Chain A
């Protein structure tokens, strides 16, 4: 009995300590942003590796997701004689939920895991330690650009996701199933509100980008410097990020709809 209580207490202390370290790392990443002269090229490099290199998976996935939503939506709506509402259905689903959430999940798998593995390997091969001993702060040089790169990249990727998914829906709805082009676009335009739908979706992706980047850099920076440790950290980064995105999505949606 006492042993179990001991183990529980130890686990509690362990998790509180981890949260404390993660909080410290987040505050350092926020308050030691990359400076203009040396940091800007590093930030651009991260926008490329986290953002541009994620484009392929984002574009291909969003195109198919848009096409599938349109196909499913059309066959349901047509039963009620409401096939002309396909545009609003796809646009609202994508801008409010599918865009921010699916883009975030793909981003966590593609860019978050890469960031964790890269930082973990830098730690295991003493690159971070040698940087510290050269009086170069790894938080400013390595962590902060990757953190800000995540926050900036994901909203941009989400915009691209939204646009491509809607284009996919247009291909299926208009080009394949024969809906009127004008009806498709004008109903969509009438139903979608910029602030409530598009802007709120982008706000979600800013939060998701920050959380994914935070989890990724934390897991990499505090990874055990062994091959098994880096593998575990990379897996954790993807799993924790995905769970955080799905959980936060509910909280943010409730706040935005006005439930809270």
Chain B
């Protein structure tokens, strides 16, 4: 099977009745870096949570390696998650553990390896992200970029098949951005991973992705290689890629005309 993740006719509605996805079809091929992009609030993070089984879809199918995620039992879901890694937007590092123990956490929980073996593995993972020397630091002492790299080392600790990145580039300085972009691509190729990046950082994501999905308004707006996306002349897509302040997605939130609003305004 060439596709590790297959999402078919996915519909997702929040408890408050808001429909986030109307009908979405996405396939994530093995060994590739697939980017899912779209404006803020379109449900990109929700999509990752649906793939990871943290949320259940209202309708449709989510298959990971042929297994239907919503239909898995609790134990089967936890078995499947051991083959996944996820990098959270806030890193999600345990604040009471130092960097070394954070990376060692999944190894200690899921493997019977000796302390010496875990020590070696953690050092290797930290070396991959360039933070072997930061093992004894607490998460509060790390910069945002360093915290993401530690979280990345922890996400790959169990050598997963699938790794999901939730907004990995948001709020990073140019150096951290460069390091993270290189790491995502290098780790994918060196470890034979399948990567899913959810992001709205257009240039960085298009530079490393093999295939791109753009979602907006609860639907897939476009998909293709980064070049296909750049060449697509759809006004919606061009506004998003070029970061134009006004276009099909209006600058102004829907409201009555300004003059009418001013005239009927009552003092607070």
Contacts and interface: CB of A to CB of B under 8 A. Distances in A.
Given A127-B93, A130-B92, A135 B86 contact: no
A133 B52 contact: yes
Interface string A67-109: 0000000000000000000000000000000000000000000
Interface string A128-172: 011011111100000000000000000000000000000000000
Contact of A135 (B81, B92, B154): B81
B89 interface: yes
Interface in B46-98: 49, 52, 54, 78-79, 81-82, 84-86, 88-95
A125 interface: yes
Contacts of A132: 52, 54, 81
Contacts of A127: 92-95
B252 interface: no
A180 interface: no
Contact of B88 (A129, A135, A136): A129
Interface in A108-136: 125-127, 129-130, 132-136
A126 B84 contact: no
A9 to B, nearest CB: 16
Interface stretch (B25-33, B105-113, B174-182, B185-193): B105-113
A127 B89 CA distance: 11
A259 B90 CA distance: 55
B109 A133 contact: no
B102 to A, nearest CB: 10
Interface residues of B, number: 25
A136 B92 contact: no
A136 B54 CA distance: 13
A134 B163 CA distance: 11
Nearest to B49: A129
B106 A136 contact: yes
Contacts of B85: 133
A129 B54 contact: yes
Contacts of A136: 105-106, 109
A135 B79 CA distance: 7
Given A126-B89, A129-B54, A134 B94 contact: no
Contacts of A133: 52, 54, 81, 84-86
A129 B86 CA distance: 10
Contact of B78 (A125, A126, A129, A137): A137
A125 B105 CA distance: 17
A134 B81 contact: yes
A195 interface: no
Contacts of B49: 129
Given A132-B81, A134-B81, A137-B78, A126 B105 contact: no
Contacts of B79: 135
Contacts of A38: 109
Given A133-B54, A133-B84, A135-B79, A126 B109 contact: no
B105 to A, nearest CB: 7
A127 B105 CA distance: 12
A25 to B, nearest CB: 15
A135 B82 contact: yes
Contacts of B95: 125, 127
Query: Which of A125, A135, A137 has the most chain B CB atoms closer than 10 A to its own CB?
Result: A135
A132 B74 CA distance: 11
Contacts of B91: 126
Nearest to B74: A137
Contacts of B84: 133
A134 B90 contact: no
Contacts of A137: 78
A126 B90 contact: yes
A130 B81 contact: no
Interface string A30-67: 00000000100000000000000000000000000000
Contacts of B105: 134, 136
A249 B89 CA distance: 45
A137 B110 CA distance: 12
Nearest to B158: A134
A132 B109 CA distance: 12
B76 to A, nearest CB: 11
26 contacts: A125-B90, A125-B92, A125-B95, A126-B88, A126-B90, A126-B91, A127-B92, A129-B54, A129-B92, A130-B86, A130-B88, A130-B92, A132-B52, A132-B54, A133-B52, A133-B84, A134-B81, A134-B106, A134-B109, A134-B154, A135-B78, A135-B79, A135-B81, A135-B82, A135-B106, A135-B110
Given A129-B92, A130-B151, A134-B109, 16 more contacts: A38-B109, A126-B88, A126-B89, A126-B91, A126-B92, A127-B93, A127-B95, A129-B54, A130-B86, A130-B92, A133-B84, A134-B81, A134-B105, A134-B106, A134-B158, A135-B109
